[in-house]
Structure 1
Amino acid sequence: MARRLASISVDLDSLPHYCRIHGLPESLLDARARGLVYTTAVPRFMELLASVGVPGTFFAIGEDVAADAGAARVLRSSHEAGVEVASHSFSHDYALTRRPLESIREDLRRADEVLEAATGVRPVGFRAPGYTLNAALYAATVERGYRYGSSTFPAAPYYTAKAAVMGALALLGCPSRAVLDSPRVLLAPRTPYRPEPARPYSRGRGAVLELPMTVTPRVRFPFIGTFATTLPMPAVRALYRACLGDSFFNFELHAVDVLGAEDGIPPELVRQQRDLRVPVAHKLERLRTLFGWLKSDYDVVTLRDAASHLAVNGQGSPLS
């Protein structure tokens, strides 16, 4: 019987990146708020993972780590505790795919250097800022020698909502710095695949295995932290059950999924980022439950280990 795998990954986007998404000035954030991801969110995730007895993967932004010695220490501690630290780029530029190839290469190189200096291990995985992938960025991940990427997010409801929010912000005169991906992502595979290098949202024979984030069959509703912590539990349970037919479950979260208004986040950002209104205690209890479900139904591993297993067993082959 084929081994059923699940992975839990967390994007460590700091609060300035949310200001950029919502068209808010970063000056809203004091030094304490800027550091909440590493001082508060990461320890909460570490406690959650340990309490359930499952590993995780953290996607860290090189720029954030380079600017904060405390963040580097937290990452090293996480790595030593068994968490995989992967790359979420250096600058987390939402328009990374619009840069020249040489600039993309430099961004990924700088991220690798910072994260290797922090943990002692070079990252083998990559997730694109804003989940946006194209041929140039995929080529850069191949050159860097990554074992896997996890950027594909073929979620139609998410894509539609993002387009609507970006349009509304533009009309209000405070445009988002996020970038809307190519609609081709909506037809990308839901399950692990080898991309076609020139068209990375299509199956092919690319060297870097792609591990898409989990969405439901047919409707392609995303099963990610934002919805898992905010939707009513019957809806979350139904979405989870809809995905149980997949042999790989890639549960993606963000650091803000364990943060809330009570952590002293500026009210201007809380108004825009609605999930920050949910009490932290509720979020933690919900995630503890969901991690438990995954542990019961799957073999929970890091994305690095999932990629290794899938590659060896041919599940990421061009015909899979």
Structure 2
Amino acid sequence: MRLASISVDLDSLPHYCRIHGLPESLLDARARALVHAVAVPRFMALLAAVGVPGTFFAIGEDLEADANAAAGMRAAHAAGIEVASHSHAHDYALTRRGPAAILDDLQRADAAILAATGVRPEGFRAPGYTLNADLYAATEALGYRYGSSAFPATPYYAAKAAVMGALALAGRPSRSVLDTPRVLLAPRVPYRPDPARPYQRGSGSVVELPMAVTPGLRFPFIGTFATTLPLGTLRAAWRMCRGDAFFNFELHGVDVLDGSDGIPGELVRQQRDLRVSAAKKLERLREIFGWLRAECDVVTLRDASGRLSATL
């Protein structure tokens, strides 16, 4: 049976303000904690209801700053959900910081996750999906089993470039970073990277598990699109990926939130998927999770990497 994994990046709302060039002062204390306080329990309940495991990518500084967030990750780990690293500070420019700073960031994230769950993370996803040789070297040095940062999605890359350009012209530049176009040529299936050029195949020790994109156009199958596009479009994309041995479905905490949860209107206007009700999003995700469960063996990314690594 094919393998599939469901992962959730727990980016808190300040990171969305940074993406959209909005001041973080828009957010009160409740809004800053919303992803861990509201989205995490919703995802845990959804995964349990469908009967599948998942992987949460946690940001180290969020766990250090919020005892409730750390307790949530402890509960997730106890429920069988893998807690992996999404870096310490979620610095979109992490790949530009140099080897020492990169290694320090990942070590701090590891320490925060270990303190919260009692287990050191075995997987890593880069902020903004941006990977380079220095960052890959740090994942090897820390002995991660896998990375899941490559996102070779042509439509996503083009849309991101357009939005960043529009924000710059509007005088509120995004703090996000546009990756090298070489990512668009990265394999769309699991592979061992070349440590010097991690978007190419090689013999690196840390297996890369790219996020799901379709063959050909490389249309992204991620939470933002899964909760907003017509169901027929998603079914077509899902059918196109049926020849793949592994399907990596990536989501974010905001994929189960909406404006009524206490998100400032300025951010809702910029992050259009927040205009879709959380109830409708959860209904859609329950259906897609059901597709995965019916046709695949749904496992954590850690377990997927273990089962796939010998074949790469």
User: Could you say which TM-score interval applies, normalised by the shorter chain?
Assistant: over 0.9
The answer on 1:269 being equivalent to 2:272 is no
1:156 aligns with 154
1:122 aligns with 120
- Matched pairs, number: 312
Q: C-alpha distance in 2, partners of 1:7/1:157? A: 22
Q: C-alpha distance in 2, partners of 1:151/1:115? A: 19
Return the match for 1:247 from 240, 245, 248. 245
1:220 CA displacement: 0.1
2:138 aligns with 140
1:290 CA displacement: 0.2
2:202 aligns with 204
1:57 aligns with 55
Query: Percent same amino acid among aligned pairs?
Result: 74
Letter in 1 for 2:235: R
Q: C-alpha distance in 1, partners of 2:147/2:289? A: 22
1:102 aligns with 100
1:130 CA displacement: 0.1
Deviations 1:112-156 (A, max 9, x none): 000000000000000000000000000000001000000000000
Deviations 1:185-214 (A, max 9, x none): 000000000000000000000010000000
The answer on 1:34 being equivalent to 2:32 is yes
What are structure 2's unaligned runs of at least 5 residues? none
Q: C-alpha distance in 1, partners of 2:261/2:203? A: 46
Letter in 2 for 1:207: S
1:183 CA displacement: 0.2
2:298 aligns with 300
Letter in 2 for 1:269: L
1:87 aligns with 85
1:288 aligns with 286
1:74 CA displacement: 0.5
Deviations 1:70-100 (A, max 9, x none): 1000000000000000000000000000011
1:23 aligns with 21
Return the match for 1:257 from 255, 258, 274. 255
- TM-score scaled by structure 2? 0.99
Deviations 1:21-69 (A, max 9, x none): 0000000000000011111000000010000000000000001111000
Deviations 1:154-205 (A, max 9, x none): 0000000000000000000000000000000000000000000000000000
1:262 CA displacement: 1.0
2:173 aligns with 175
1:4 aligns with 2
2:308 aligns with 310
Q: C-alpha distance in 2, partners of 1:90/1:213? A: 21
1:311 CA displacement: 1.4
Return the match for 1:233 from 231, 234, 237. 231
1:280 CA displacement: 0.7
1:76 aligns with 74
SS class of match (1:230):
coil
Off by >6 Å, runs of 4+ in structure 1: none
1:244 CA displacement: 1.1
1:213 aligns with 211
Q: C-alpha distance in 1, partners of 2:40/2:238? A: 25
1:264 CA displacement: 1.3
Q: C-alpha distance in 1, partners of 2:199/2:10? A: 24
SS class of match (2:168):
helix
SS class of match (1:212):
coil
- TM-score scaled by structure 1? 0.97
Q: C-alpha distance in 1, partners of 2:201/2:118? A: 34
1:241 CA displacement: 0.9
